[in-house]
Structure 1
Amino acid sequence: MKNLNLVVLFLLIISGLACTDNTENLISGPDDGGEEPSGEVSYSNDVQPIFNGSCTSCHGSSGNVSLSSYSALMNSVGNSYGSNLVVAGNADGSGLVDKIEPNPDHGSRMPVGGSLTNSEIQTIRTWINEGAKNN
């Protein structure tokens, strides 16, 4: 009987741990402090690979918002935001940044099914704040 009680207690503890709200790890990994990238951020080397890996399967060249290339991104209009998605020099005023950070002003956080890492978000923020250059 004592062994049965221990097994039940163990299963309850495991069940409780499995049901905890651990959303912190969905936002960042253990090595992902979101530090600012060193040096100038390159669109082609740093930003587009993030979009290719996490965004373009839904936001490719055929949609209203396309992240498939620099020109497509810069010409995409966020209807809910009333302007272009990227405001060069102003990450906080860019709809793109609002959509990839927690609790966006409009709709759901992107990408659907999993968040970008803090480092990826910081790379995009830095690129925009540096003028959103096609480099």
Structure 2
Amino acid sequence: MPKQILGCFLGILLLSGCYYDNKEDLYQFVDQSCEVAQATYAADVLPILELNCISCHNNGNPQGGVTLEGYDNCKQHVDNGSLLGSIEHASGYAPMPPGGRLAPCDIQTIKTWIENGAPNN
């Protein structure tokens, strides 16, 4: 009898490990929109650039002649429109990053920062 109970318990434990959740089902009631009223360079934009851009566009090896490392370098590409044009995959700009688009919320964060004057904050 104790072996049967133990066997049932282990069977249930084993089968419960086969449960599968996908992201859409788990977070279906969470608002996934991105409303960004303010964005700062240091807290919001720089982490996005570090994660997605600066590994290729750094001072040591600026691919395509573009460096986004440091505020002044980044601001240069903001001022000529190439940063926003590239991340939005706009016509006339090299689409970046090359592996696919940034997350819509990341694009909106950078766009909001630019619309607010791209301050060094």
TM-score normalized with structure 1 length: 0.58
**In structure 2, what is the Cα distance between the partners aligned to 1:130 and 1:66?**
22
Higher gyration radius (CA) = 2
Counterpart among 78, 81, 85 of residue 86 in structure 1: 78
How many angstroms does 1:105 deviate by?
A: 1.4
C-alpha contact 1:61 1:72 (8 A) present in aligned 2? no
Partner of 1:115: 101
Distance change in 2, residues 1:32/1:103 (3 Å): farther
Structure 1 equivalent of residue 42 of structure 2: 44
Match of 1:55 in 2: 53
8 Å Cα contact 1:43-1:134 kept in structure 2: yes
- Cα separation, 2, equivalents of 1:122 and 1:69: 20
Deviations 1:1-23 (A, max 9, x none): xxxxxxxxxxxxxxxxxxxxxxx
| Cα distance between partner residues in 1 of 2:47 and 2:105 | 13
Alpha-carbon distance in 1 for matches of 2:54, 2:36: 23
Distance 1:31 1:118, change over 3 A: farther
Alignment of structure 1 residues 3-82 onto 2, 5 Å: 32-33=32-33, 35-38=34-37, 40-62=38-60, 63=62, 64-75=65-76
Name structure 1 gaps, 5 residues minimum.
1-29, 76-84, 88-92
The alpha-carbon deviation at position 103 of structure 1 amounts to 4.1
SS of aligned partner of 1:96: helix
Tell me the number of residue pairs that the alignment of Structure 1 and Structure 2 aligns. Answer: 89
Q: Which ranges in structure 2 are unaligned for 5 or more consecutive residues?
A: 1-29
- Greater percentage in helix: 2
1:32/1:68 CA distance change after superposition, 3 Å = farther
Tell me which amino acid in the other structure corresponds to 1:86.
V
Percent of aligned positions with the same letter in both sequences? Answer: 38
SS in 1 for 2:91: coil
Equivalent residue number for residue 100 of structure 1: 87
Deviations 1:101-132 (CA, angstroms, capped at 9, x unpaired): 1343133x100112101100000000001000
